A and B are shown apart, each in its own frame.
Chain A
Amino acid sequence: MNYFQLFNLPAKFDLDLTELGSRYLKLQKQFHPDQHSSGSERDKLLAVQQTANINDAYHSLKQPLMRAEHLLALRGLKISHEQRSFTDPLFLMQQMELREQLAEIDQSADPDAVIDTIERQLQQQKKQLLQQLATALDSETAEQDQQAADLIRKLKFFFKLQQELELIEQQLQD
């Protein structure tokens, strides 16, 4: 299913999220099961399936990583879920350093400050990678698409680190 087509939006990474949101609500208002509560059983079921599709499409396009993956899938490039080894030693080194920093948070004198520092670092890295991803996807060449797939894999690491950081922050608060 082409999610961009569903919302009648151009299949581009650079997406107008406000526009996406309002189109989403427009479709929801038309298809939501609440609008079909007096319909026949089959039509009610169709309403549930259709809204489920709309929700899934919206959810996927809203988030940059999933949007990029969907865009690549439409171009015939599926990102496998299995871990592919990275040939970028610099990236791996950086990941290891960040992991070490995470592990040492609870031993630090001022954990909040450390969390803030790591958080800023992660945000900055993510921003950079996302910009590179946007450029790669825009060029629409097979080579750049491969590059985009690599960037997505890297970004996944950062999103995962961010989740772990949030978990550590939670544990400190509780």
Chain B
Amino acid sequence: MLLQIAEPGQSAAPHQHKLAAGIDLGTTNSLVATVRSGEAKTLINSQGRDMLPSVVRYTADSVVVGDAAMASAVNDAENTIVSVKRLMGKGYNETLALKDKVPYQLIDQQGLVAINTVQGVKNPVEVSAEILATLANTASETLGGELNGVVITVPAYFDDAQRQATKDAAKLAGLNVMRLLNEPTAAALAYGLDSGQEGVIAVYDLGGGTFDISILRLRRGVFEVLATGGDSALGGDDFDHAIVSYLQQHTGEAELSHQAMRQYLTTARSIKEQLTDSDTVNFSLPVAGSQFSGALSKTEFEQLVAPLVKKTIRACRQVLRDAGLTSDEIVKVVMVGGSTRVPLVRTEVATFFATEPLTSIDPDKVVAIGAAIQANVLVGNKADGDTLLLDVIPLSLGLETMGGLTEKIIPRNTVIPVARAQEFTTFKDGQTAMALHVVQGERELVEDCRSLARFELRGIPPMPAGGAHIRVTFQVDADGLLSVTAQEKSTGVQANIQVKPSYGLSDDQVATMLKGSMQYARQDMQLRLLREQQVEAERVLEAVSQALKTDAALLSAQELTTIKQALTNLAEVKQGDDTAAIKAAIEHTNTLTDDFAARRMDQSIRSALTGHNVDEV
């Protein structure tokens, strides 16, 4: 039951060490890290590297991930998926701009973007699941066992659809996601715990395909995100594309085949990386049977990418405004992401914040390290009530109103978890259904915002127009994911909600993909569901027993007997292999203990705020 916070020195049970990992699912590279002997470290895969290129290659009968896939990026460009993160949670129409930039074939799969490969149509969730499974494998092999849970990082600026897609990918890879953690927050955690930093810091995170800027206040273990901003489609990839355009101008090749495009991109990236330490880089590209040789200077490169860097600085200015701060109030700037190695980025950021950016933790690894630290806490290895991460939603959530306008229900930079309600009424006599359109974004017009989902409320009791009062509640959880519930107020009737995600997979689609996945034979699937219910049953038993131990006084003798009976029953059913029966016994126990949980919560709030010295916090 809730509030099972052990006082120092009276831990509930001597817990065995659980296996947990933090995963940085990046646009260009992905990493997995874990805490061992009190230290968070990235894990080395069978190729002897900790960075796994986020590249998946499909052949007729196999899937290759990482370096081996990268090696075929030029030869088999059409079946080698690079930078899939840019496609996560996107509709096909939103990716049209990328169409000419990627060497694989994007197609429209019921409005969603997918990729046509030699192995059939693959959607971004499936491709990402392959990367996640590979990383989890590395972790399991290194740690010698199945992972109990993972924390996966996402750009802070990811919207609901992009977050949901990431969670679906983890589900497909068979991972238990304890939390989706924002990348800048993970980086702050890695730095903050490392240096005991206090005060307001900025995290500038420029990765392969995404840009985040977050402002956090750090004090005594509390990481409070004050504001976040960015661009979920701006990163090192765009630097590469800027160089490709330059190369095309000089080689005179206006149209590039898929293969040539990949070669140009590879050359561009290599030039970019070399320009970190040298002033000029020579390159050579094949043109109509011969070789074209040229050179790109650092100054030319900086001219090419200056508009992109400027865009990030503009976002920095906006986020400071949102936080109600000025740049001189920022004590430290943390640099995250491989693209912050570009010298121009460093100097521009240093100038804007008037402070030398922090780079002591490898900018490619810092996010995975932070995720590992949080995974270790969440899995229960560290009875650490001292760290608290308070994050925010990056973009406002709202509803479409008359005339295609948006009405904001939860403004951006609101601390999560959050729940806000809005009331609606019927406009026709006897109306029993109502359609709602949920959008995310800052613009006035619905068409300029991201469409998240359409809801249909059904089962509204028939009443005269304006008679029904339907309270629609938006709830955003700690992962930044939205859920919606609705209730008719005068009758208490719970309206059913049918969700049609605008740019995401429905629960049914995910279930179908799970069943069809190579990783789960049908039998495995059944076993997995049984195991899940058994674990949940254990949790319920453990939680309620613990609650009875401390707070049985809150119950009448009658209530106590009924609850104890339910527990005995649950413990018995749990031993068997009837998944549905276990589920039913869990639900029965939950229903019986709902009141008890509420009473304990009230008591706990009172005791938390009385008899304690305020300085303790």
Q: How far is the CB of A67 from chain B (nearest CB, A)?
A: 17
| Known contacts A19-B614, A27-B608, A48-B475: A39-B4 contact under CB 8 Å | yes
B2 at interface, CB cutoff 8 A: yes
| Known contacts A30-B3, A47-B2: A56-B388 contact under CB 8 Å | no
A46 touches B417 (CB 8 A): no
Complex Cα distance, B477 from A39, in Å, reads: 15
A3 at interface, CB cutoff 8 A: no
List of A residues within 8 angstroms of B64 by Cβ: none
Q: How far is the CB of B92 from chain A (nearest CB, A)?
A: 32
Tell which of A36, A42, A56 has the most Cβ of chain B within 10 Å.
A42
Complex Cα distance, B587 from A125, in Å, reads: 57
A108 at interface, CB cutoff 8 A: no
| Known contacts A52-B417, A56-B419: A34-B543 contact under CB 8 Å | no
Q: How far is the CB of B477 from chain A (nearest CB, A)?
A: 5
Complex Cα distance, B536 from A22, in Å, reads: 34
| Interface flags, A31-74, vs B, CB<8A=1, else 0 | 11111111111110011111111011001000000000000000
A49 touches B478 (CB 8 A): no
Q: How many residues of A contact B (CB 8 A)?
A: 40
List of A residues within 8 angstroms of B379 by Cβ: 37-38
| Known contacts A25-B222, A28-B388, A48-B477: A37-B380 contact under CB 8 Å | yes
A39 touches B539 (CB 8 A): yes
| Known contacts A37-B380, A40-B536, A51-B417: A30-B604 contact under CB 8 Å | yes
| Interface flags, B370-384, vs A, CB<8A=1, else 0 | 000010011110000
Which residue of A is nearest B587, CB measured?
A42
Instruction: Point out the residue from B4, B416, B594, B617 that lies within 8 Å of A22, measured CB to CB.
Output: B617
Which residue of A is nearest B3, CB measured?
A30
Which residue of B is nearest A27, CB measured?
B608
B417 touches A42 (CB 8 A): no
Instruction: Point out the residue from B178, B222, B586, B601 that lies within 8 Å of A50, measured CB to CB.
Output: B601
B389 touches A34 (CB 8 A): yes
Q: How far is the CB of A97 from chain B (nearest CB, A)?
A: 27
List of A residues within 8 angstroms of B539 by Cβ: 38-40
| Known contacts A26-B609, A27-B605, A40-B539: A46-B2 contact under CB 8 Å | yes
Q: How far is the CB of A44 from chain B (nearest CB, A)?
A: 9
Which residue of B is nearest A18, CB measured?
B614
Instruction: Point out the residue from B388, B415, B540, B609 that lies within 8 Å of A34, measured CB to CB.
Output: B388
Instruction: Point out the residue from B414, B477, B597 that lies within 8 Å of A43, measured CB to CB.
Output: B597
- Residues of A93-147 contacting chain B, CB below 8 A: none
Instruction: Point out the residue from A23, A32, A41, A56 that lies within 8 Å of B536, measured CB to CB.
Output: A41
Q: How far is the CB of A1 from chain B (nearest CB, A)?
A: 12
Which residue of A is nearest B538, CB measured?
A40
A42 touches B617 (CB 8 A): no
Complex Cα distance, B389 from A22, in Å, reads: 15
List of B residues within 8 angstroms of A55 by Cβ: 414-418
| Interface flags, B466-480, vs A, CB<8A=1, else 0 | 000000000101100
A33 touches B477 (CB 8 A): yes
Which residue of A is nearest B224, CB measured?
A25
A25 touches B415 (CB 8 A): no
List of B residues within 8 angstroms of A6 by Cβ: 605
B612 at interface, CB cutoff 8 A: yes
B385 at interface, CB cutoff 8 A: yes
Q: How far is the CB of B516 from chain A (nearest CB, A)?
A: 26
Complex Cα distance, B220 from A26, in Å, reads: 12
B388 touches A25 (CB 8 A): yes
A28 touches B321 (CB 8 A): no
List of A residues within 8 angstroms of B390 by Cβ: 28, 32
A43 touches B2 (CB 8 A): yes
Complex Cα distance, B612 from A43, in Å, reads: 25
Q: How far is the CB of B310 from chain A (nearest CB, A)?
A: 11
- Residues of B579-601 contacting chain A, CB below 8 A: 586, 590, 594, 597, 601
Which residue of A is nearest B615, CB measured?
A22
Tell which of A36, A52, A59 has the most Cβ of chain B within 10 Å.
A52
Complex Cα distance, B417 from A31, in Å, reads: 11
A26 touches B417 (CB 8 A): no
Complex Cα distance, B612 from A49, in Å, reads: 25
Q: How far is the CB of A48 from chain B (nearest CB, A)?
A: 5
A173 touches B317 (CB 8 A): yes
A85 at interface, CB cutoff 8 A: no
| Interface flags, A1-31, vs B, CB<8A=1, else 0 | 0000011100000000001001101111111
Q: How far is the CB of B149 from chain A (nearest CB, A)?
A: 8
Complex Cα distance, B2 from A46, in Å, reads: 7
B597 touches A8 (CB 8 A): no
Complex Cα distance, B420 from A39, in Å, reads: 25
List of A residues within 8 angstroms of B172 by Cβ: none
Instruction: Point out the residue from B3, B222, B606 that lies within 8 Å of A8, measured CB to CB.
Output: B606
Complex Cα distance, B609 from A174, in Å, reads: 46
B179 at interface, CB cutoff 8 A: yes
List of B residues within 8 angstroms of A59 by Cβ: 414-415
Instruction: Point out the residue from B1, B5, B420 that lies within 8 Å of A35, measured CB to CB.
Output: B5
A34 touches B179 (CB 8 A): yes
B257 at interface, CB cutoff 8 A: no
B195 at interface, CB cutoff 8 A: no
B543 touches A43 (CB 8 A): yes
List of B residues within 8 angstroms of A173 by Cβ: 317
Which residue of B is nearest A36, CB measured?
B2
List of B residues within 8 angstroms of A87 by Cβ: none
A80 at interface, CB cutoff 8 A: no
A170 at interface, CB cutoff 8 A: yes
Complex Cα distance, B594 from A34, in Å, reads: 21
Complex Cα distance, B567 from A66, in Å, reads: 45
Instruction: Point out the residue from B178, B378, B389, B419 that lies within 8 Å of A53, measured CB to CB.
Output: B419
Instruction: Point out the residue from A25, A39, A56 that lies within 8 Å of B2, measured CB to CB.
Output: A39
List of A residues within 8 angstroms of B386 by Cβ: 29
A30 touches B608 (CB 8 A): yes
Q: List 5 A-B contacts (CB under 8 A).
A: A26-B616, A32-B388, A32-B478, A34-B179, A35-B5
Known pairs A26-B612, A36-B4, A42-B540; list 18 more (Cβ under 8 Å): A8-B609, A22-B617, A25-B222, A28-B388, A30-B3, A30-B385, A31-B2, A33-B477, A34-B388, A38-B380, A40-B536, A40-B539, A43-B1, A49-B419, A50-B2, A51-B478, A55-B416, A56-B420
In the complex, the 4 A-B pairs of residues with the closest C-beta atoms, listed nearest first: A52-B419, A37-B378, A8-B609, A33-B478
